[in-house]
Chain A
Amino acid sequence: MERGINNERNGNQGLLRRIAGTGLSARLLLGAALIVLPIVTAALGRSYVVYLYSLVMVYVIVTLGLNILTGYTGQISIGHAGFMAVAAYTSAILTGRFGVPFSLALIVASLLAAALGLGLGVPALRLQGHYLAIATLGFGVAVGQLSASWDKLTGGYQGMKAPVAAILGFRFDTDLKYYYLVLVLTWLSVEAAQNMLCSRPGRALMAVRDSEVAAQAMGINLAKYKVTAFAVSAFYAGIAGVLHAHLTRYVSPYDFNMGVSMTLLSAIVVGGLGSVPGSILGAVFMTILPHVFSRVKNLPLILAGLSLILVVLFLPYGLVSLPLKIKSAALRARARRATKSGNA
């Protein structure tokens, strides 16, 4: 796992700055595109695609969260969908049954997920590698089983409805309206993660990943930062879980099964471990794949597995490193040509 990690300074700088060179103008450009795109899509009568955009962003948030834990801190989680599930059900129950405002439910549910992350992080301190993988797997399975069998609270396998999200009386009752809510929260999540990762706590997390002994010798409390990583990561999963619930307006055990946890793990590896843009790329790739190839049964899964293998073999730093790889290949080719013509 450790080998596949990349987080060059550049990789940690603003995602937008990286995508289109530098500065504010690039950010504005991307921002404008993200604002206009769904309007155009909706105008073309493709409301489902707008829904899909929102879904992609929901997965961007949780993938980013998982990357903070696994890519940046080196702690694996194979049950991350469990955190999404807890927050999704919490929000659905709070808003649907108790009439709690959506914004409050979002905060409470995400904090509950974070608290669970903290709770799982403490025993995880004693575990490493495979053992941590199994413990988190157990968590994911347990949440799934619980949500399926606790009929009274969750509606069992039939699931439960989640009401339309509303903030201060404004109802996000169309795919387009909800898209903007998700966009704002995704943007904030990405910025916050980016900021945190390039400052003192972010460096400490990466130090824990790169060398536990050296990190301790620098005064970094391993336990504190590992548990923090679990909590932050679960918080992100919580936000995503809540947004997912009110996007589909429905929560069921199938939404957050082990398959989802595996997809998330694949997303960070395919996109790029220890990279914010990588998290985004991975989430986009893994979310869109099943919808593009949905006509052929099982094809998306096969493609997902294949892309995972190809990335691990040929792009250990993930899709995010592809441009760099192409650039260096081009440079090498040019150097070869130069020596050839030099000899002639």
Chain B
Amino acid sequence: MPAGSTSVAPRPESAPWRADLGPAGLLRMNQPTLQRDRQGVDYGEQQNVQKLPAAIRDEQRGGLVTIKPFSLWTLVISGIVFFVAAFFLARQGADFTATNVDRGNPPPAQSTRQAVQAGTASASVVPSTVADANAPLVVHLAMKNMKFSPATIEIKKGDTVEWKNDDITPHTATSATFDSGSIASDAVWRHTFKDAGNFPYTCTFHPEMKGTVVVK
């Protein structure tokens, strides 16, 4: 049977594996060959009849590529919807890498607060309401390879900075107004900045390690 023709003709029992049967014919090839040997009523055709309308629809569409059970139409529309959603979310300035501010080569004096808030916003597909733009945050800072990373951070009054020791040697975060004492390897230390100002600090064990917390 030529490919693409409608599939109402009886199944050729003698040649169940013919490849030129078209999509509907391929459906019929799923029938077990034993049916050929069945006596009495041949239920094979009834099965074919149930499948046929869909098969006919497929054939009439010219056998377009699609992922069953979704129709091509569904896929196209959802693709456009996702694209547009991502486009507008990105325009909002969502920083998809936000909350944790320590990087290999972080930009100096980055506005971590904005980054963290944008990060929160981008986490969900549906933009959720960011509760309060001034809610206090915990900003993360790493001590890695004998450096504070990032060396300078900007936060708001009331925010907390969390120092994490990613080195194998102990470190401190010490300034005129705060002193962490010895922070062991893998341990953290937090300090909440209640006052605005510039807070330069250092590690008392390694004086060449220097950082600054800028509190606005």
Real binding pair? no
